[in-house]
Amino acid sequence: MAVSNNITAVLNIVALLCSIPIIAAGIWLDQKPENACVHLIRWPVILLGFLILLVSLAGFVGAYRYKETLLAFYLCCMAILIALLLILLVFAFVVTRPDGSYDVPGKGYKEYRLDGYSAWLRDHVVDNKSWRKIKACLADTGVCPKLTQKFITADQFFAAHISPLQA
C-alpha cells in the first residue's frame, strides 16, 4: 500500500473516531428537556456526525483497499463538505460582523442597538416568531440570575466588563 494511502487511511480512521462523539452529543442533546436552543441544533449535529462517519468510512475503505471509485466518492463528498463549511463560516462572519455596539461614557461595558447589526440579522430577529424563540432560549441560559449573584451593587455592575449577551 502506498504511503499516501496509508496517510489517507489513518486520517480517515481519526475522522471516523471523531464522528462518534459528535453523534453521541447529538443523541445526548435529543435526550435533554425540550427547549428552543436544543431543538435548533440537535438534528443538525446528528446529521453532521453521520455525514462525517460515512465520508470517513468511504475514505478509509477506499484508501485501505485501493478502491478508486470509493476514493473518488470520498474526494467529492469531502470537497462538498469543506465548501459547505466555508460558506457557513463566511455567512456567519458577514451576518455578525457589525456588532451593533457603542461605547457608553463612564461604563465598563458597551451598549448594543439592533440597527447596528446586519440587515439580514435584523430582519430575522425583529420577526415576532423568531424573537419568541430567541427570548425562550435566552431565558433558559440563566444569564440574568447569574448576574444578580455576581454583582452586588450597581456600581460593580456598571464598572464590569461584561459580554454582549449579558449586556
Residues 52 and 35: their CA atoms lie apart, in Å, by: 26
Q: pLDDT value at position 129?
A: 78
Q: What is the value of pTM for the model shown?
A: 0.66
Q: Which of 86, 78, 51 is nearest to 43 (CA)?
A: 51
* pLDDT score for 58: 93
CA distance 96 to 88: 12
The predicted pLDDT at position 128 comes to 77
**Tell me, what amino acid is at 130?**
S
- Among the listed residues 39, 55, 45, the one whose alpha carbon sits nearest the alpha carbon of residue 24: 45
pLDDT of residue 143: 65
For the chain, give every domain's residue range. 1-97, 100-159
Closest CA to 108 of 166, 165, 159, 167: 159
DSSP character for 160?
S
Burial zone of 19 (CB within 10 Å; 0-12 exposed, 13-18 middle, 19+ buried): buried
E strands within the chain? 101-103, 110-112
Average pLDDT by stretches of 10, the chain with 167 residues: 85 94 89 71 88 93 90 92 90 78 70 74 76 74 68 72 65
